[in-house]
Amino acid sequence: MHVKYVPTVLATLGFITATGTTVNFTIETKEFDQKDCSTSCLYGLIADNDKFILHSSLKISNIIPIANLILIVEVKTTKSVKFAVIYQEDILVCLNRTGQEVECYMIKEDYFNITIKYNATSKLSEASLKVAVSYERKYFFGNVIQLPHISDTMKSTLLLNNDRLPLMSHKCETDLIRKGSLHFCCEENNIVKTTAIIKINGVVVSKSERCAEIQMLPSIETLTILDFECSFCDVQLLTSSCYYGNDTSGDTSGDPPDKAKIKDDSSSHHYELIIMFGIIMAILILILICVAFICIKQVKERNERPGQAEQESMISNVTTRL
Protein backbone atom coordinates (compact mmCIF):
# COMPACT_ATOMS: atom_id res chain seq x y z
CA MET A 1 0.00 0.00 0.00
CA HIS A 2 1.36 3.42 -1.00
CA VAL A 3 0.11 6.76 0.25
CA LYS A 4 1.22 9.93 -1.48
CA TYR A 5 0.82 13.50 -0.25
CA VAL A 6 1.16 16.64 -2.30
CA PRO A 7 3.23 19.46 -0.78
CA THR A 8 1.02 21.90 1.13
CA VAL A 9 1.99 24.57 3.62
CA LEU A 10 0.30 23.85 6.94
CA ALA A 11 1.62 26.45 9.31
CA THR A 12 4.39 28.78 10.21
CA LEU A 13 5.35 28.09 13.79
CA GLY A 14 8.04 29.52 15.98
CA PHE A 15 10.04 28.89 19.08
CA ILE A 16 11.82 31.22 21.46
CA THR A 17 15.25 30.45 22.82
CA ALA A 18 16.37 30.98 26.37
CA THR A 19 17.94 34.27 25.31
CA GLY A 20 14.66 35.50 23.84
CA THR A 21 15.58 34.99 20.19
CA THR A 22 12.55 34.08 18.08
CA VAL A 23 13.08 31.56 15.27
CA ASN A 24 10.29 30.75 12.84
CA PHE A 25 10.05 27.73 10.58
CA THR A 26 7.46 26.26 8.28
CA ILE A 27 5.84 22.83 8.54
CA GLU A 28 4.66 21.57 5.19
CA THR A 29 3.74 18.30 3.57
CA LYS A 30 6.12 16.90 1.00
CA GLU A 31 5.70 14.18 -1.56
CA PHE A 32 6.07 11.06 0.49
CA ASP A 33 5.35 7.44 -0.39
CA GLN A 34 4.58 5.16 2.51
CA LYS A 35 4.82 1.41 2.10
CA ASP A 36 2.82 -1.02 4.19
CA CYS A 37 3.95 -0.46 7.77
CA SER A 38 2.39 -3.57 9.27
CA THR A 39 5.77 -4.92 10.38
CA SER A 40 8.35 -2.16 10.09
CA CYS A 41 8.59 1.32 8.72
CA LEU A 42 11.05 4.14 8.13
CA TYR A 43 9.33 7.42 8.67
CA GLY A 44 8.95 10.62 10.42
CA LEU A 45 8.38 12.45 13.55
CA ILE A 46 6.76 15.17 15.61
CA ALA A 47 7.91 18.42 17.00
CA ASP A 48 7.23 19.96 20.35
CA ASN A 49 10.28 21.73 21.60
CA ASP A 50 11.16 20.23 18.46
CA LYS A 51 13.74 20.28 15.75
CA PHE A 52 14.14 16.71 14.75
CA ILE A 53 15.43 15.15 11.60
CA LEU A 54 14.31 12.06 9.71
CA HIS A 55 16.60 9.11 10.35
CA SER A 56 17.50 6.61 7.66
CA SER A 57 17.48 3.35 9.60
CA LEU A 58 14.67 2.93 12.11
CA LYS A 59 12.99 -0.25 13.22
CA ILE A 60 9.37 0.16 14.29
CA SER A 61 7.01 -2.76 14.71
CA ASN A 62 3.24 -3.07 15.05
CA ILE A 63 2.51 0.41 13.73
CA ILE A 64 -1.07 1.63 13.68
CA PRO A 65 -0.74 4.98 11.90
CA ILE A 66 -4.23 6.29 12.65
CA ALA A 67 -4.26 8.49 15.75
CA ASN A 68 -0.66 7.62 16.53
CA LEU A 69 2.33 9.80 17.02
CA ILE A 70 5.77 8.53 16.12
CA LEU A 71 8.85 10.15 17.58
CA ILE A 72 12.22 10.12 15.88
CA VAL A 73 14.97 12.41 17.12
CA GLU A 74 18.29 13.13 15.51
CA VAL A 75 20.79 15.95 15.77
CA LYS A 76 23.37 16.81 13.11
CA THR A 77 26.29 18.29 15.00
CA THR A 78 29.93 17.67 15.69
CA LYS A 79 29.30 18.17 19.39
CA SER A 80 28.00 15.64 21.89
CA VAL A 81 24.44 16.44 22.90
CA LYS A 82 22.38 14.98 25.70
CA PHE A 83 18.66 15.38 25.40
CA ALA A 84 15.47 13.82 26.71
CA VAL A 85 12.09 13.21 25.15
CA ILE A 86 9.45 13.66 27.83
CA TYR A 87 5.86 12.51 27.47
CA GLN A 88 3.53 13.29 30.37
CA GLU A 89 6.38 13.51 32.88
CA ASP A 90 7.90 10.22 31.65
CA ILE A 91 11.26 10.21 29.90
CA LEU A 92 10.94 8.31 26.63
CA VAL A 93 14.40 8.89 25.20
CA CYS A 94 17.60 9.98 26.86
CA LEU A 95 20.58 9.98 24.54
CA ASN A 96 24.18 11.10 24.78
CA ARG A 97 25.22 10.91 21.19
CA THR A 98 27.13 12.46 18.30
CA GLY A 99 24.56 12.18 15.53
CA GLN A 100 24.52 8.40 15.14
CA GLU A 101 21.66 6.09 16.13
CA VAL A 102 18.33 7.34 17.43
CA GLU A 103 15.61 5.39 19.21
CA CYS A 104 12.02 5.75 18.10
CA TYR A 105 8.90 5.61 20.25
CA MET A 106 5.27 5.44 19.27
CA ILE A 107 2.48 7.09 21.27
CA LYS A 108 -1.03 5.78 20.76
CA GLU A 109 -2.84 8.93 21.80
CA ASP A 110 -4.91 11.54 20.04
CA TYR A 111 -4.12 14.03 22.77
CA PHE A 112 -0.51 14.42 23.71
CA ASN A 113 1.82 16.75 25.54
CA ILE A 114 5.44 16.41 24.54
CA THR A 115 8.44 18.44 25.55
CA ILE A 116 11.90 17.93 24.16
CA LYS A 117 14.56 19.39 26.43
CA TYR A 118 17.97 20.15 25.03
CA ASN A 119 20.68 20.20 27.67
CA ALA A 120 23.91 20.64 25.81
CA THR A 121 27.33 20.74 27.39
CA SER A 122 28.54 22.72 24.40
CA LYS A 123 27.10 25.23 21.98
CA LEU A 124 24.54 24.01 19.46
CA SER A 125 25.23 26.73 16.94
CA GLU A 126 26.54 24.11 14.52
CA ALA A 127 23.46 21.93 14.80
CA SER A 128 21.07 21.56 11.90
CA LEU A 129 17.75 20.10 12.98
CA LYS A 130 14.54 19.15 11.25
CA VAL A 131 10.99 18.37 12.33
CA ALA A 132 8.40 16.04 10.88
CA VAL A 133 4.95 15.03 12.06
CA SER A 134 3.27 11.68 11.59
CA TYR A 135 -0.35 11.98 12.63
CA GLU A 136 -3.45 10.22 11.34
CA ARG A 137 -1.70 8.97 8.19
CA LYS A 138 -0.52 12.46 7.29
CA TYR A 139 3.17 13.17 7.22
CA PHE A 140 4.31 16.73 7.81
CA PHE A 141 7.99 17.56 7.45
CA GLY A 142 9.56 20.81 8.50
CA ASN A 143 12.30 22.56 6.62
CA VAL A 144 15.85 22.10 7.84
CA ILE A 145 16.93 25.20 9.75
CA GLN A 146 20.15 26.39 11.29
CA LEU A 147 19.86 26.79 15.03
CA PRO A 148 20.86 30.08 16.62
CA HIS A 149 23.51 30.37 19.29
CA ILE A 150 22.29 28.39 22.31
CA SER A 151 24.34 28.06 25.46
CA ASP A 152 22.08 26.10 27.78
CA THR A 153 18.45 25.29 27.07
CA MET A 154 16.10 25.72 24.15
CA LYS A 155 12.32 25.48 24.24
CA SER A 156 9.80 25.52 21.44
CA THR A 157 6.29 24.35 20.69
CA LEU A 158 4.18 22.05 18.57
CA LEU A 159 0.63 22.85 17.50
CA LEU A 160 -1.75 19.97 16.91
CA ASN A 161 -5.29 19.26 18.02
CA ASN A 162 -5.75 19.95 21.73
CA ASP A 163 -2.03 20.30 22.37
CA ARG A 164 -0.74 21.78 25.59
CA LEU A 165 2.08 24.09 24.70
CA PRO A 166 4.95 24.75 27.11
CA LEU A 167 6.25 28.18 26.20
CA MET A 168 9.43 29.24 27.96
CA SER A 169 9.90 32.97 27.69
CA HIS A 170 8.62 36.31 28.95
CA LYS A 171 7.27 36.85 25.45
CA CYS A 172 5.54 33.87 23.86
CA GLU A 173 4.66 34.30 20.22
CA THR A 174 3.52 31.85 17.62
CA ASP A 175 1.83 32.19 14.25
CA LEU A 176 -1.33 30.20 13.75
CA ILE A 177 -4.81 30.51 12.35
CA ARG A 178 -7.60 28.64 14.06
CA LYS A 179 -11.12 28.97 15.38
CA GLY A 180 -12.41 27.71 18.69
CA SER A 181 -11.27 28.60 22.18
CA LEU A 182 -7.98 29.11 23.95
CA HIS A 183 -7.07 28.33 27.54
CA PHE A 184 -4.07 30.03 29.09
CA CYS A 185 -2.62 29.27 32.51
CA CYS A 186 0.73 30.10 34.07
CA GLU A 187 1.84 27.88 36.92
CA GLU A 188 4.80 27.54 39.24
CA ASN A 189 4.86 24.24 41.16
CA ASN A 190 1.18 23.70 40.28
CA ILE A 191 0.25 27.05 41.84
CA VAL A 192 -1.26 29.76 39.65
CA LYS A 193 0.52 32.94 40.66
CA THR A 194 1.07 35.25 37.76
CA THR A 195 -0.46 38.01 35.71
CA ALA A 196 -0.60 37.54 31.97
CA ILE A 197 -1.55 39.79 29.08
CA ILE A 198 -2.91 37.99 26.02
CA LYS A 199 -2.91 39.68 22.64
CA ILE A 200 -4.63 38.33 19.54
CA ASN A 201 -3.74 39.98 16.26
CA GLY A 202 -2.11 42.76 18.23
CA VAL A 203 -5.21 43.52 20.36
CA VAL A 204 -5.22 42.90 24.11
CA VAL A 205 -8.07 40.50 24.90
CA SER A 206 -7.23 39.48 28.45
CA LYS A 207 -5.42 40.80 31.50
CA SER A 208 -5.75 37.93 33.92
CA GLU A 209 -4.27 37.26 37.33
CA ARG A 210 -5.40 33.65 37.10
CA CYS A 211 -6.17 31.31 34.28
CA ALA A 212 -8.02 32.78 31.33
CA GLU A 213 -10.27 31.19 28.76
CA ILE A 214 -11.15 32.96 25.53
CA GLN A 215 -14.11 31.49 23.69
CA MET A 216 -15.27 31.93 20.10
CA LEU A 217 -11.89 33.00 18.80
CA PRO A 218 -11.67 34.64 15.40
CA SER A 219 -9.07 33.58 12.89
CA ILE A 220 -5.78 34.17 14.68
CA GLU A 221 -2.77 35.43 12.82
CA THR A 222 -0.57 36.13 15.82
CA LEU A 223 -0.89 35.16 19.46
CA THR A 224 1.25 36.96 22.02
CA ILE A 225 1.43 36.26 25.76
CA LEU A 226 3.30 38.86 27.81
CA ASP A 227 4.37 39.57 31.37
CA PHE A 228 4.35 36.20 33.06
CA GLU A 229 7.01 34.95 35.44
CA CYS A 230 6.61 31.22 35.64
CA SER A 231 8.60 28.23 34.52
CA PHE A 232 5.67 26.60 32.71
CA CYS A 233 3.24 28.49 30.53
CA ASP A 234 0.33 26.22 29.63
CA VAL A 235 -1.60 27.20 26.50
CA GLN A 236 -4.32 24.77 25.52
CA LEU A 237 -6.20 25.13 22.23
CA LEU A 238 -9.59 23.59 22.96
CA THR A 239 -11.08 22.40 19.72
CA SER A 240 -10.71 19.42 17.44
CA SER A 241 -11.95 21.28 14.36
CA CYS A 242 -8.83 23.33 13.76
CA TYR A 243 -6.63 23.94 10.79
CA TYR A 244 -3.26 25.47 10.04
CA GLY A 245 -1.84 27.73 7.42
CA ASN A 246 -3.43 30.51 5.42
CA ASP A 247 -7.20 30.90 5.70
CA THR A 248 -8.25 29.99 2.17
CA SER A 249 -11.94 29.69 2.96
CA GLY A 250 -12.39 33.43 3.36
CA ASP A 251 -14.50 32.78 6.45
CA THR A 252 -13.69 35.34 9.08
CA SER A 253 -16.69 34.66 11.27
CA GLY A 254 -16.40 34.84 15.01
CA ASP A 255 -16.28 37.54 17.61
CA PRO A 256 -13.59 40.18 17.15
CA PRO A 257 -10.67 39.95 19.55
CA ASP A 258 -11.69 42.96 21.60
CA LYS A 259 -15.13 41.45 22.17
CA ALA A 260 -13.92 37.97 22.95
CA LYS A 261 -15.57 36.37 25.92
CA ILE A 262 -13.13 36.16 28.78
CA LYS A 263 -13.65 33.85 31.70
CA ASP A 264 -11.21 33.93 34.59
CA ASP A 265 -10.85 30.76 36.52
CA SER A 266 -8.61 28.98 39.01
CA SER A 267 -8.66 25.98 41.29
CA SER A 268 -8.68 28.13 44.43
CA HIS A 269 -11.73 30.00 43.18
CA HIS A 270 -13.45 26.69 42.52
CA TYR A 271 -12.70 25.51 46.06
CA GLU A 272 -14.15 28.71 47.52
CA LEU A 273 -17.35 28.26 45.55
CA ILE A 274 -17.63 24.62 46.63
CA ILE A 275 -17.18 25.54 50.31
CA MET A 276 -19.77 28.34 50.10
CA PHE A 277 -22.21 26.03 48.35
CA GLY A 278 -21.71 23.39 51.05
CA ILE A 279 -22.36 25.89 53.84
CA ILE A 280 -25.54 27.15 52.17
CA MET A 281 -26.80 23.60 51.65
CA ALA A 282 -26.11 22.72 55.29
CA ILE A 283 -28.09 25.76 56.48
CA LEU A 284 -31.00 24.89 54.20
CA ILE A 285 -31.03 21.30 55.48
CA LEU A 286 -31.12 22.51 59.10
CA ILE A 287 -34.00 24.85 58.30
CA LEU A 288 -35.93 22.02 56.64
CA ILE A 289 -35.35 19.75 59.64
CA CYS A 290 -36.63 22.44 62.03
CA VAL A 291 -39.72 23.07 59.90
CA ALA A 292 -40.44 19.34 59.69
CA PHE A 293 -40.06 18.97 63.48
CA ILE A 294 -42.49 21.84 64.12
CA CYS A 295 -45.03 20.42 61.67
CA ILE A 296 -44.87 16.96 63.29
CA LYS A 297 -45.32 18.49 66.73
CA GLN A 298 -48.39 20.44 65.61
CA VAL A 299 -49.94 17.35 64.02
CA LYS A 300 -49.44 15.37 67.24
CA GLU A 301 -51.07 18.12 69.29
CA ARG A 302 -54.07 18.19 66.97
CA ASN A 303 -54.44 14.42 67.19
CA GLU A 304 -54.30 14.53 71.00
CA ARG A 305 -56.97 17.25 71.42
CA PRO A 306 -60.07 15.23 70.32
CA GLY A 307 -59.22 12.38 72.69
CA GLN A 308 -58.86 14.75 75.63
CA ALA A 309 -62.26 16.35 74.88
CA GLU A 310 -63.95 12.93 74.86
CA GLN A 311 -62.42 12.06 78.23
CA GLU A 312 -63.67 15.33 79.73
CA SER A 313 -67.16 14.69 78.30
CA MET A 314 -67.26 11.17 79.80
CA ILE A 315 -66.20 12.48 83.21
CA SER A 316 -68.87 15.16 83.01
CA ASN A 317 -71.59 12.59 82.16
CA VAL A 318 -70.57 10.31 85.01
CA THR A 319 -70.60 13.21 87.42
CA THR A 320 -74.09 14.24 86.26
CA ARG A 321 -75.48 10.73 86.72
CA LEU A 322 -74.05 10.49 90.20
Q: Give residue 284's pLDDT band: very low, low, confident or very high (50, 70, 90).
A: very high
Q: Clarify whether residues 142 and 195 are in a common domain.
A: no
- What pTM does this model have? 0.21
Q: pLDDT by residue (tens digit) across 120-160?
A: 333 333 333 333 333 333 333 332 222 222 222 222 332 32
Q: Clarify whether residues 6 and 151 are in a common domain.
A: yes
Q: Give residue 17's pLDDT band: very low, low, confident or very high (50, 70, 90).
A: very low
Q: Give residue 318's pLDDT band: very low, low, confident or very high (50, 70, 90).
A: low
In a domain, 118, yes or no: yes
- Say what the pLDDT of residue 283 is: 92
In a domain, 223, yes or no: yes
Q: Clarify whether residues 14 and 155 are in a common domain.
A: yes
In a domain, 283, yes or no: yes
- Say what the pLDDT of residue 319 is: 66
Interatomic CA distance for residues 55 and 103, integer angstroms = 10
- Say what the pLDDT of residue 274 is: 84
Last-in-domain residue among 97, 131, 160: 160
- Say what the pLDDT of residue 276 is: 86
Q: pLDDT by residue (tens digit) across 161-201?
A: 223 333 322 233 333 333 444 555 554 445 444 445 566 55
Q: Clarify whether residues 284 and 255 are in a common domain.
A: no
What mean pLDDT comes out for the span 295-321? 70
Q: Which domain holds residue 189?
A: 170-265
Q: Clarify whether residues 156 and 175 are in a common domain.
A: no
Q: Clarify whether residues 11 and 154 are in a common domain.
A: yes
In a domain, 141, yes or no: yes
Q: pLDDT by residue (tens digit) across 65-101?
A: 222 233 333 333 333 333 333 333 333 433 333 333 3
Interatomic CA distance for residues 213 and 65, integer angstroms = 33
Q: Clarify whether residues 106 and 17 are in a common domain.
A: yes
Q: pLDDT by residue (tens digit) across 229-260?
A: 444 444 443 332 222 222 223 333 333 233 33
In a domain, 275, yes or no: yes
Q: Clarify whether residues 236 and 282 are in a common domain.
A: no
In a domain, 252, yes or no: yes
Domain count, the chain: 3
Interatomic CA distance for residues 14 and 195, integer angstroms = 23
Last-in-domain residue among 115, 138, 160: 160
Q: Give residue 314's pLDDT band: very low, low, confident or very high (50, 70, 90).
A: low
Radius of gyration from C-alpha coordinates of the chain:
32
Q: Clarify whether residues 52 and 125 are in a common domain.
A: yes
Q: Clarify whether residues 22 and 105 are in a common domain.
A: yes
In a domain, 215, yes or no: yes
Last-in-domain residue among 265, 290, 313: 265
Per-residue pLDDT for 4 more than 50? Answer: no
- Say what the pLDDT of residue 213 is: 59
- Say what the pLDDT of residue 297 is: 86
- Say what the pLDDT of residue 15 is: 31
In a domain, 40, yes or no: yes
Q: Clarify whether residues 135 and 222 are in a common domain.
A: no
Query: Average model confidence (pLDDT) for the chain?
Result: 44
- Say what the pLDDT of residue 302 is: 76
Would you tell me how many other CB atoms lie within 10 Å of the CB of residue 318? 9
β-pairing, 222-226 vs 196-200, is antiparallel
Q: Clarify whether residues 10 and 154 are in a common domain.
A: yes
